[in-house]
Amino acid sequence: MSYLLETKDITKRFGGLVAVDKMSFGVKEGEVVAILGDNGAGKSTLIKMISGVYPSDGGTIFYKGVEAKIHTPMDALAVGIETIYQDLALAENLNVYSNIFLGREKTKKKFGFLPVLDHTYMHNESVKVLEKLDIKIPSLKNNVRTLSGGQRQAVAISKSIYWNAKVLIMDEPTASLGVAQQKQVLDLVNSLKDHGLAIILISHQMRDVFEVADRIIVMRRGEKVGDLIKKETTTEEIVNLIVGSELVN
């Protein structure tokens, strides 16, 4: 099966520093690819190029084998690439369904001409997507501020799913969560995989990576130094690739 999303020789420079150097990788439908690397290895820069936050300085991104021109976050969203950032990017002063519909609010016509926000529609649609993912949140009219870390993560993921994400990029999804909530989020990742999504996972937690990933890509100093099937590798091998100690040996 060919890749759903693929990058070829994608590059990003910040002045003299090459943050990502001719990086090529791909992810298939229903596959979880984990990207590992030390701080400053270029993981975040890589996903920011794919999600349109940074324009790339070279190379190409392919979606379903066709070149995708991604220059802004809107371009990425239009293709179906949704990103869940570490800080989740939720507006805490808004309620759950307003966050799910943020930037793409549904309106209806009042008195036949006056556009107003359609709260009922947005609420009901949000209930549907949460049920589909088996996520429980007490009331969607509560502000996101009142939710737990795991629930917020779930809201951010629901938002992507509702908007028809085909490729989901998750940046450190379990970093700020308690143990029970980490489990919930990993279960959610597995269920998303079953729904046929292509998932790119960035994480420091080796345990998380080995629990959900199918393939592991290791980056060091902006370059890809390893692309391994999870079942054929070990934690030790990965750690060696991350720190570069195989060079010493």
Partner 1 sequence: MTSSLNQMIEESRLLKVIARNWAFCFLISFIVLFSFTGRGFFSIVNFQNIIHLSVIAILMASAETFVIISGGIDLSIGFVMGLSSVTAGKIIQIMFNSGNFSPAFSIFIGVSIALVVSILPGLLSGIVISKYRVPPFIATLGMWGITNGIALKICKGFPVAMLPDSLTKIGNGYILYFKRGDGFSFFGLPYGVGNDKIREYLRLIPNSFIFLIIILLVLWHLLKNTKFGQHTYAIGGNEDAAVRSGIDVKKHIVKIYVLSSFIAGIAGVFNVFQTGIGNFTTFGAMYELFAVAAVVIGGASLMGGKGRLIASVIGVFLIAVLENGLLISGIEPFYRYIAVGLLLILAVVIDELFPDLF
Q: Which stretches of the chain bind partner 1, using CB under 8 A?
A: 53, 73-74, 77, 83, 85, 87-94, 98-99, 102-105, 107, 110, 114-117, 146
Residue 138 vs residues 154, 176, 189: alpha-carbon distances, Å: 13, 21, 22
Instruction: Identify whether the C-beta of residue 61 lies closer than 8 Å to the C-beta of residue 3.
Output: no
DSSP letter at 5 equals E
Instruction: Identify whether the C-beta of residue 30 lies closer than 8 Å to the C-beta of residue 193.
Output: yes
Query: Min. distance of Cβ 102 from partner 1 in angstroms?
Result: 4
Query: Min. distance of Cβ 41 from partner 1 in angstroms?
Result: 23
| Cα angle, residue 68 at apex, residues 209 and 47 outer, rounded to 5° | 30
Residue 117: both structure tokens together: 């926000």
Residue with tokens 């229903």: 30
Q: How far apart are CA 82 and CA 89, in angstroms?
A: 12
Neighbour count for residue 184 (Cβ, 10 Å): 20
Query: Min. distance of Cβ 221 from partner 1 in angstroms?
Result: 27
SS3 string, 38-101, reads CCCCCHHHHHHHHCCCCCCCEEEEEECCEECCCCCHHHHHHHCEEEECCCCCCCCCCEHHHHHC
> Quick one: 3 or 54, whose CB is closer to partner 1?
54
